[in-house]
Amino acid sequence: MKRFIWLVILPVYWVGVPALAQVETSYYDAENSQVKERYETRDGVPHGRYQRYDPFGSRTQVGQFDAGKKTGLFVELHPQTGDTLKITPYTADQIQGEVISFYPDGQVAQRASFQNGVLQGVLESFYESGKIKGRIHFQQGKPQGVQETYYPNGQVQARTNFDQGVPDGLTREYTEEGKLVLEKTFRKGQVEGLVTEFYPNGQKASEALYQKGVKHGKFATYHENGQLAIEGNYRKGLRHGRFTTYDERGTLQREITYKRGIGR
């Protein structure tokens, strides 16, 4: 991995240093003993190579400035090993192109596309094994369309639809074996309508009505054998009215009446 770092950095940061460049240094402490940054300047503004250090003296970032603006590749480094953790391309102080993050072992952790400093296009994240972990499209910096997340075995974990940066539409979640465990609908970022949960065997586990993100209306849970377990109603997120509980054979166990969340 270190060999890769040098191949990336040498052409960008160490070739063609202007003769008139001066090196400035900033510090973490008042005694000027802990270097924070070293960078070249021209006419009082950053121009040329840039290096940043952590409080322990390890280099954590290298890059390039042109007349005070970030340009080219800025590379974040692991403080102990010097390996590349993130590569960010800049044009005139704005992120432009593909930003890549890495695990310490060099495996790609995430890829994201930027245009003029704004997320635009597909963002993908990965497990250390290299398998896909998540994928979503961005439009003008906001999630747009279907977001998919995955288990390490490649099975879909969840699908959620986004519209202008907020969940909107149907969301489904699955077990690692591909069984549906949750189904709900968002409207402009808030849960709306029926939310249904399932047992891994496919049997319905619960049903609840939502309004503007809170439970409001009929509610029921079920035993794994399909028998009704609890039924009742919610009003603005609070239990309201009669709640009835049954055992796995359908025998009534108890009844409690609630008013604004308080049982009587």
CA dist., res. 173 & res. 151, Å (int): 11
Q: What is the pLDDT of residue 263?
A: 85
Across the range 59-74, mean pLDDT stands at 97
Across the range 240-254, mean pLDDT stands at 96
Please check whether residue 39 is in contact with residue 24, taking contact to mean a CB–CB distance below 8 angstroms.
yes
Q: What is the pLDDT of residue 2?
A: 38
**Eight-class DSSP state of 249:** T
CA dist., res. 209 & res. 191, Å (int): 9
CA 86 to chain centre: 16
Q: What is the pLDDT of residue 176?
A: 95
Q: What is the pLDDT of residue 264?
A: 82
Q: What is the pLDDT of residue 13?
A: 38
CA 27 to chain centre: 33
Instruction: Retrieve residue 50's tokens.
Output: 């840039």
Q: What is the pTM of this model?
A: 0.82
CA dist., res. 91 & res. 78, Å (int): 24
Q: Collapse the DSSP code of 81 into the 3-class scheme (helix H, G, I; strand E, B; otherwise coil) and give the result.
A: coil
Please check whether residue 88 is in contact with residue 74, taking contact to mean a CB–CB distance below 8 angstroms.
yes
Q: Within 10 Å of residue 262's Cβ, how many Cβ atoms? A: 10
CA dist., res. 201 & res. 131, Å (int): 27
Domain spans in the chain, listed from the N-terminal domain onward:
192-264
Q: With CA atoms as reference, report the closest residue to 38 among 67, 61, 7, 20.
A: 61
- How does pLDDT run across 16-37, given as a tens digit for each residue? 444 456 999 999 999 999 999 9
- How does pLDDT run across 206-236, given as a tens digit for each residue? 999 999 999 999 999 999 999 999 999 999 9
CA dist., res. 131 & res. 205, Å (int): 31
